[in-house]
Amino acid sequence: MVAEALQTIRSILEGLEGKLLEREGELEEAAAATSQQEGIKEENKQGEQQEEEKQHEERQEEEEQQEQKKQVEEKKEQQEEEELQEEYKKEQEEDEHQGKDEHQEEDEQQQELQEEENKEQQEEDEHLEEEKEQQEEDEHLEELHKEEKKQQEEDEHMEKQQEEKMEQQEEDEHLEEQQEEEKEQQVEDENLEEQREEEKEQQEEDEHLEDLQKEKKKEQQEEDEQPEELQEEQKKEQEEDEHQKELQEEEEQQQEDEHLEEQQEEDEHLEELHKEEKEQQEEDEHMEKQQEEKMEQQEEDEHLEEQQEEEKEQPVEAENLEEQREEEKEQQEEDEHLEDLQKEKKKEQQEQDEQQEELQEEQKKEQEEDEHQKELQEEEEQQQELQEEEQQEEDEHLKEQQEEDEHLEDLQKEKKKEQQEEDEQQEELQEEQKKEQKEDEHQKELQEEEEQQQELQEGEKKEQQEEDEHLEEQQEGEKKEQQEEEKHQEEQKKEEKDVPAEVKPRLTLKRRVTKRLHRIWVSTRKLFRCRRPTTTP
**So what's the pLDDT on residue 500?**
59
**So what's the pLDDT on residue 303?**
76
Does the residue 220 lie in any domain? no
| pLDDT tens track for 352-410 | 788 878 888 888 888 888 888 888 888 888 888 888 888 888 888 888 888 888 888 88
Q: What angle do CA 114, 120, 124 make, to 5 degrees?
A: 140
Euclidean distance between CA atoms 486 and 478, whole angstroms: 12
Please say whether the beta carbons of 180 and 274 come within 8 A. Answer: no
Q: Residue 242: CB partners within 8 Å, gap ≥ 6?
A: none
**So what's the pLDDT on residue 314?**
57
The count of structural domains within the chain is 1
**So what's the pLDDT on residue 37?**
73
Does the residue 136 lie in any domain? yes
Number of other CB atoms surrounding residue 154 within 10 Å: 16
The CA radius of gyration of the chain, in Å to the nearest whole number, is 64
CA atoms within 13 A on the CB side of 523: 6
Euclidean distance between CA atoms 164 and 166, whole angstroms: 5
Does the residue 31 lie in any domain? yes
Total count of residues recorded for the chain: 537
- Intervals of the chain under pLDDT 50: 531-537
Domain range for 174 = 1-95+119-215
Q: Give 3-43 as a DSSP string.
A: HHHHHHHHHHHHHHHHHHHHHHHHHHHHHHHHHHHHHHHHH
Does the residue 451 lie in any domain? no
Does the residue 13 lie in any domain? yes
**So what's the pLDDT on residue 531?**
46
Does the residue 35 lie in any domain? yes
| pLDDT tens track for 169-198 | 888 888 888 888 888 888 888 888 888 888
Does the residue 81 lie in any domain? yes
Does the residue 504 lie in any domain? no
Residue 503 φ/ψ, nearest 5 degrees: -90, -15
